[in-house]
Amino acid sequence: MLDLLTDKLQSVFRRLSNRGIVTEKDLDEALREVRLALLEADVNFKVVRQFVNDVREQALGTEVLGSLTGPQQVIAAVHKELVQVLGESQSVLQTAKQPPTVVMLVGLKGSGKTTTAAKLALHLRKGGSRPLLVAADPHRVAAAEQLRSLGRQLSIPVFGGDNAKSPAQIAKGALAEAQRTGVNILVVDTAGYAQVAEEMLTEVKELHRSFSPSEVLLVVDAMTGQEAVNVAQEIHEALGVTGFIITKMDGDARGGAALSIRAVTGVPIKFIGMGEKVDALEPFHPDRFASRILGMGDVLSLIEKAKETVDQDDAKAMERKLKTGTLDLEDFLKQIQQVKRMGPLTQLLDLMPGMRGMKKQLNEAMLDESAWKRTEAIVYSMTARERRHPDTIDGSRRRRIAAGSGTTIQDVNQLLKQWREAKKLMEAMASGRGPKMFGRLG
């Protein structure tokens, strides 16, 4: 996500910091590079111009010139303006005074709207809501089938509106189903069109009248860059969009849509999609996103991910083992599986302050999902005694484990080496001799 922009901004700030104090010429040169980096990231040129002017004005206002803390103040000004452009504070979903709350998703074909509807429903259920997915595309049978399939995977009910011939009939049936089953929030997946057209707007407006939604969320694809902003502006002017969900933020997109869309339309970003997994939908926090862009990490999001995936009893048991130095391969495997549930390792490194650079140092094998599966296969090929007492694994046992897991003796040796290094590091951190990146999870 915006890796190229982050690298370029960090390079600008490194050069600025190396100079010790900041002159007006240094400031202008740094802001010129910031401007180019933002434009190359496909940020709207009007947004870039205003952004750079505001940073310069704020920097000069804090008397950074000739100050030993000047570089830090420039970085702080850039961070503050990024947060301002992105929306200042989190914008949460609005709920209806009387349930059910209706959240209507709109967007063009290929934006990921149907899968995003399922992800949003799962997110809402985790928050304590009882969601119902609604397939409100009367033209495409496959859309309803796709939503039903996703609903079955997530154990979330789906209303298909199979016999409905109009948006009004779909809405009436879905609302009746909500009343009958006691759900309190409807996530409505509407038809996707190849482009913004009168037919699309007419149908969505009719659905809006029928459902009276609390939220109309436009799903936009980050990979489409400035085109996403143009579409957002056009649909917002026609429908009155209340928020955005930006998908595919984990891709190779330049990402300018995320930095432009709120500034251009005045409408907040409410969620971002960070992958294909059903739980890869994150509430959007402008301050945290700005910190990620500047390579500062995002500890709060990391802690939230950990709380969702780490069993507290397991965590306490792990703490006891670390203190007594009895960490074994069963524990090692459990830790790997918990990290996997938190998301791709490359994304987790982005959330840790000062750890983005590690992505370049780690070899591809360590970041490859298949390497994690190979580790699991090796550990599962061991006996219970071998997992609990890895030091007993001699040459003949290693050959047997390699054959049983479909790997090589070198793979087994590499895993045992990684386990010893991880054990030393974790025991050092538990004893206070190692670095602590963040506090204990509450």
3-state secondary structure of 135: strand
Measured between alpha carbons, how far apart are the two ends of the chain, in Å? 28
pLDDT range class, residue 435, cuts 50, 70, 90: very low
* 3-state helix vs strand vs coil in the chain, percent to 5: 60, 10, 30
216 and 286 part of one domain = yes
254 and 145 part of one domain = yes
291 and 310 part of one domain = no
Residue bearing the bigger pLDDT, 138 or 114: 114
* Contacts of residue 286, Cβ cutoff 8 Å, sequence gap at least 6: 82, 83, 86, 87, 88, 89, 90, 269
The total domain count for the chain is 3
User: Can you tell me the mean pLDDT for 353-380?
Assistant: 64
Q: Check the CA dihedral 411-412-414-419 and report its sign.
A: positive
pLDDT range class, residue 323, cuts 50, 70, 90: low
Among the candidates 26, 60, 86, a domain finishes at: 86
In terms of residue numbers, what domain contains 49? 3-86
114 and 224 part of one domain = yes
68 and 115 part of one domain = no
3-state secondary structure of 115: helix
Length of the chain, in residues: 442
The CA distance from 54 to 97, in Å, is 40
pLDDT range class, residue 438, cuts 50, 70, 90: very low
pLDDT at 1: 53
Among the candidates 296, 322, 355, a domain finishes at: 296
Considering the domain boundaries, does residue 200 fall inside one?
A: yes
Count CA atoms within 13 Å of residue 69 on its CB side.
6
Percentage of the chain lying above the pLDDT 70 cut = 75
> Is the model's pLDDT at 276 over the cut of 90?
no
Question: Considering only 9-18, 211-220, 233-242, 425-434, which range has the smallest mean pLDDT?
Answer: 425-434
Residue bearing the bigger pLDDT, 325 or 124: 124
Considering the domain boundaries, does residue 179 fall inside one?
A: yes
Considering the domain boundaries, does residue 118 fall inside one?
A: yes
pLDDT at 434: 46
pLDDT range class, residue 54, cuts 50, 70, 90: very high
User: Can you tell me the mean pLDDT for 114-139?
Assistant: 91
106 and 74 part of one domain = no
pLDDT at 31: 92
pLDDT range class, residue 353, cuts 50, 70, 90: low
320 and 427 part of one domain = yes
> Is the model's pLDDT at 209 over the cut of 80?
yes
Considering the domain boundaries, does residue 372 fall inside one?
A: yes
The CA distance from 253 to 200, in Å, is 27
Considering the domain boundaries, does residue 167 fall inside one?
A: yes
Query: Is the bond preceding 100 in cis, omega lying within 30 degrees of 0?
Result: yes
312 and 228 part of one domain = no
The CATH number for 198's domain is 3.40.50.300
137 and 246 part of one domain = yes
217 and 351 part of one domain = no
pLDDT at 363: 47
306 and 280 part of one domain = no
Q: What mean pLDDT is reported for the chain?
A: 80
Considering the domain boundaries, does residue 91 fall inside one?
A: no
Count CA atoms within 13 Å of residue 71 on its CB side.
14
Note the pLDDT tens digit of each residue in 5-42: 888 888 888 888 887 777 888 888 999 999 998 988 88
The CATH number for 322's domain is 1.10.260.30
The CA distance from 394 to 96, in Å, is 65
pLDDT at 33: 93
The CA distance from 115 to 107, in Å, is 12
Among the candidates 296, 330, 362, a domain finishes at: 296
The CATH number for 64's domain is 1.20.120.140
**Tokens describing residue 214:** 């609390």
Considering the domain boundaries, does residue 441 fall inside one?
A: no
pLDDT range class, residue 302, cuts 50, 70, 90: low
> Is the model's pLDDT at 423 over the cut of 70?
yes
The DSSP H or E segment spanning 103 is: strand 101-106
> Is the model's pLDDT at 327 over the cut of 60?
yes
| Whole-prediction pTM | 0.70
365 and 408 part of one domain = yes
> Is the model's pLDDT at 301 over the cut of 70?
no
User: Can you tell me the mean pLDDT for 75-80?
Assistant: 87
Considering the domain boundaries, does residue 369 fall inside one?
A: yes
**Tokens describing residue 417:** 């080496």
Q: Strands 185-190 and 215-221: what pairing?
A: unpaired
